[in-house]
Amino acid sequence: MSLILPANSLTGGYEIDNSLRFNSGSSDYLEKVKTGSNGNLKIWTFSTWVKRSQLGTVQTIFSFGENLSAEGQLQFDANDFLTLINDNQNGSTNETDMKFRDVGAWYHIVWACDSTQADNANRWKIYVNGTQVTLTGNPTITLNGNGIINQWASYDCWIGANARSQQAGNPAQYADVYLSETYFIDGQALDPTSFGEFDADTGIWKPINVSGLTFGNNGFYLDFENSGSLGADQSGNGNNFTVNNLTSIDQTTDTPTNNFATLNPLVKSGSQTYANGNTEIVSIGDNDSVVSSIGTNTMKFYFEVKLSSTYDGSGGGIDVGGLREEQFYSSGFNSGTWSGFNFAYSKFYGNGNDGRFKQGNGNVVLGGLTRAVAGDIVMIAIDPANNRVYAGINGIWLNSSNPVTGTGYIGGTAPTGTGIWFGYHSSDLDKGDCFVNYGNPAFTIASGNSDANGYGNFEYAVPSGYYALCTKNLAEFG
């Protein structure tokens, strides 16, 4: 698991406010139907920032197609390569020579096309985080070829799915991604410096303000900042997209300039399935576990878990809390050092050979409540420097705990080594699912609370001195 945070922890400069979270399970996509007016079929640029959620399946980011035997699209294939297709310019699939398997980072992708170039190598260019990437097989792009992309007279354009699925027998290939700052430029083949730059101090690729950009007749710019009109084109061309199955809850503040933690499907024990940008556990086996994509050993942080099911306690339910990195890598989840709160038994719990995390096996009763039930929101506050975890339900901290004053916590003696505390550890979740909210929730928040820095969206107040687990906060606190 990588703890590198490309483009996310920088302070100052251009800030991106929103992204849009696409979930394949709910068939999310944006659609602009054919207009009758083609753009420049030889010269154009597509640019977007993308954060992946699920791997190992074909997922389409940008596509042209309809009930015709032709297509143009940019997609991740089942082997996690990025593939490019544009019929009438090059009919075969063209892959990048790199895989995209980091579910914790944002990638900036630019595909520039100019089929009028004399040199074949200059007709298609693909850039990732500011650097040109090689296409395997040295594909031949037809000189002066008029491709399917930008052919609005005959084809629809979809974002987040395969528009050719309208033709019988073709899969929709819905994407599990976050997208941000999505551009299409009609009539110009631009390099990535039109959209980003390398930070002078760190060398990290970061977005820039593109207010001076021209778009051409069929160009568009989707910034996803209007929750009531997520497909609104901000280019001035009025090339708005129709929203399909996406709602205001899919607008997030997890962006290339402030990357929020999610669950990490690459670091886990057993097998699980996830949804909604790795913020929802759909299923998990008995005694299987997963952690967050970002960890810290210094910053106090807060997150929430909303239950979708009531756990009766017969199978252990689900434990949520914190896990130290060195114990996981040396011992595995089930014997590692962690502490938390058990939903089914409504009690503090933990492990470790000396039992230092246990608060006893009796229930912690809150107003007659003996277990958390479906719809409840569990609050978790973690103080990694002092090895303490606090738990609450629906706005009330259990065990008379107070994360601010440091009373009623779980934990005590710090384990050997510095370690990294991850913001989620689950086990025994074999009776339903739940949502994990690090500040970018996939469930409706009735109240709306952020941390002292203004980051995150939580149901309950973030304790003073605790923060959302995102890279802007990590840049400040470590």
Helix or strand run (H / E) with residue 31: strand 29-32
Q: What is the mean pLDDT of the chain?
A: 84
* pTM for this predicted structure: 0.91
One domain, residues 127 and 214: yes
Q: Which two tokens stand for residue 458?
A: 């939580």
One domain, residues 295 and 225: no
CA pair distance 335, 154, nearest whole angstrom: 59
Beta-carbon contacts of 39 under 8 Å, excluding residues fewer than 6 positions away, are: 150, 151, 152, 186, 187, 216, 217, 218, 219
Residue pair 88/145 in contact (Cβ under 8 Å)? The answer is yes
Could you tell me if residue 42 is inside a domain? yes
**CATH at residue 436:** 2.60.120.920
One domain, residues 232 and 320: no
Find the range with the poorest average confidence among 64-68, 171-175, 244-248, 309-313. 309-313
Q: Which of 202, 225, 252 is the last residue of a domain?
A: 252
What radius of gyration, in Å, describes the C-alpha atoms of the chain?
A: 24
Strand partners, 377: 306
One domain, residues 223 and 315: no
One domain, residues 359 and 215: no
Does 462 score more than 50 pLDDT? yes
CA pair distance 352, 322, nearest whole angstrom: 13
CA pair distance 41, 139, nearest whole angstrom: 18
- Number of domain units in the chain: 2
Residue pair 381/300 in contact (Cβ under 8 Å)? The answer is yes
Mean pLDDT over 425-432 rounds to 55
Q: Which domain holds residue 317?
A: 263-477
CA pair distance 202, 42, nearest whole angstrom: 37
Query: Could you tell me the pLDDT band of residue 376, with boundaries at 50, 70 and 90?
Result: confident
Does 150 score more than 50 pLDDT? yes
Could you tell me if residue 7 is inside a domain? no
Does 46 score more than 90 pLDDT? yes
**So what's the pLDDT on residue 273?**
86
**CATH at residue 31:** 2.60.120.200
Mean pLDDT over 305-310 rounds to 81
Could you tell me if residue 174 is inside a domain? yes
Could you tell me if residue 194 is inside a domain? yes
Beta-carbon contacts of 63 under 8 Å, excluding residues fewer than 6 positions away, are: 71, 72, 73, 74, 75, 157, 158, 161, 162, 163, 164
Find the range with the poorest average confidence among 58-62, 186-190, 262-266, 337-341. 337-341
Q: Which of 252, 284, 319 is the last residue of a domain?
A: 252
Mean pLDDT over 408-427 rounds to 61
CA pair distance 437, 307, nearest whole angstrom: 11
CA pair distance 43, 188, nearest whole angstrom: 6
Higher pLDDT, 107 or 382: 107
One domain, residues 269 and 312: yes
Could you tell me if residue 223 is inside a domain? yes
One domain, residues 239 and 269: no
One domain, residues 248 and 386: no
Residue pair 144/154 in contact (Cβ under 8 Å)? The answer is no
Q: Which of 232, 252, 272 is the last residue of a domain?
A: 252
CA pair distance 207, 222, nearest whole angstrom: 15
One domain, residues 268 and 247: no
Could you tell me if residue 6 is inside a domain? no
Mean pLDDT over 395-400 rounds to 81
One domain, residues 328 and 228: no
Per-residue pLDDT tens digits for 64-79: 999 998 999 999 999 9
Residue pair 22/178 in contact (Cβ under 8 Å)? The answer is yes
One domain, residues 162 and 267: no
Does 402 score more than 50 pLDDT? yes
Could you tell me if residue 13 is inside a domain? no
Q: Which two tokens stand for residue 28?
A: 């999310």
Parallel, antiparallel, or unpaired: how do β-strands 295-296 and 272-275 relate?
A: unpaired
**So what's the pLDDT on residue 369?**
44
One domain, residues 74 and 188: yes
Could you tell me if residue 5 is inside a domain? no
Parallel, antiparallel, or unpaired: how do β-strands 205-207 and 196-198 relate?
A: antiparallel
